[in-house]
Amino acid sequence: MIEFAWSGLFWLLPLPLLMRWLPAVASRQQAALRVPMMARFEQQALTGSPSGGRPLLLLLALIAWALLLAAAARPGWVGEAVELPVSGRDLMLAVDLSGSMEAEDFVVQGQAINRLLATQIVAGEFIERRVGDRLGLILFGRNAYVQTPLTFDRKTVRTLLEEAAIGLAGKETAIGDAIGLAVKRLRNSTDEEALERSILILLTDGANTAGEVEPLKAAELAASAGLTIYTIGIGADEMIVRSLFGSQRVNPSRDLDEKTLNAIAETTGGRYFRARDTQGLNQIYSLIDELEPIARESKQFRPQRALFYWPLAAALLLAALVTLLWRRQ
């Protein structure tokens, strides 16, 4: 529907006629602004002239006045109310960029890809589904840093995840520092009540080999703050490697510290998941999708589009037309 923000301006519609016909106004001998040409125009418009057309000019002028008022009243198109799907969850993603993420033991559409690319594909789709959540991104290797603070802008979070490169934060793995950084950032940007319902999803393919904070100590700190951590161990159990001595089966996930990852999850009330292939990784993120959202009041939004320029343009065109016709007569 069309709504006017300042609909009261339409009370001014009869103002030109009142200025012309009210006895109190018509009887005034002096005006603050004298325009002799307008006096001649009013007289000819009301009385007519041999050349004709003056009443039409007056009608067009009145229409232009009405259109000016319509533009000044700020018309706008208001659409149907749309309920915003806000869950209010604060969710941080911590992704391992250590050198071991280069292992190509995942398959997508029949093509072998490395662990980071598989994570970017699956986690990217997960990010798109988290409508209404505030998402943040932490990247870690030897060091941990915040790539994206908590935001509702899912597109930016996904883009920055896709731009992440192996070794960007160092070749080693600082799991404890990543957890500690997540707790710090969530404390700075989330109130205490919401922090107790926040989630960290930590994905890695190895063991803690760097950093200043031990993973279990960081998990205890997260638990005391009310942060729930879901850990994902990524990597196939075996793959065939070709060498000069022929093909042999190896375990590319031999360095994965599942015991520590499971302990981190249990300490914070979360769960540990094992992703051996792309399908398994998809299932894990789908399961995390089913987490109960934080209850908040639903919000409604009505899209609006300004329309003032249409009556304004029409009024200016009519004014130009009236001026042109008046000069020709």
Half-sphere exposure of 263 (CA within 13 A, CB side): 14
Report CA 274 to chain centroid distance, whole Å: 31
Phi-psi region of 132 (alpha: psi -120 to 50; beta: other; left: phi over 0): left
Confidence of residue 158 (pLDDT cuts 50, 70, 90): very high
Tell the burial category of 151 from Cβ atoms under 10 Å away from its Cβ (0-12, 13-18, 19+): middle
- How far, in Å, CA of 322 to CA of 320, rounded? 6
Confidence of residue 87 (pLDDT cuts 50, 70, 90): low
- pLDDT of 292 higher than 90: no
pLDDT at 294: 47
136-149: pLDDT as tens digits: 999 999 999 999 99
Confidence of residue 127 (pLDDT cuts 50, 70, 90): very high
Question: Strand order of the sheet with strand 75-78?
Answer: 2-4, 75-78, 304-306
Look-up of token digits 């200043």: 212
Report CA 7 to chain centroid distance, whole Å: 33
Give the tokens for residue 10.
């339409």
Which amino acid does the sequence have at 11?
W
Q: Is 229 within 8 Å of 202 (Cβ atoms)?
A: yes
Q: Is 227 within 8 Å of 270 (Cβ atoms)?
A: no
* DSSP structure class, residue 100: G
Residue 35 phi/psi, 5° resolution? -130, 95
- How far, in Å, CA of 41 to CA of 262, rounded? 89
End-to-end CA distance of the chain: 42
pTM (whole model) above 0.85: no
Which amino acid does the sequence have at 161?
L
Phi-psi region of 111 (alpha: psi -120 to 50; beta: other; left: phi over 0): beta
17-49: pLDDT as tens digits: 777 666 554 455 444 445 444 555 455 544 544
Rg from Cα positions in the chain: 35
Q: Is 94 within 8 Å of 140 (Cβ atoms)?
A: yes
Confidence of residue 51 (pLDDT cuts 50, 70, 90): very low
- pLDDT of 69 higher than 80: yes
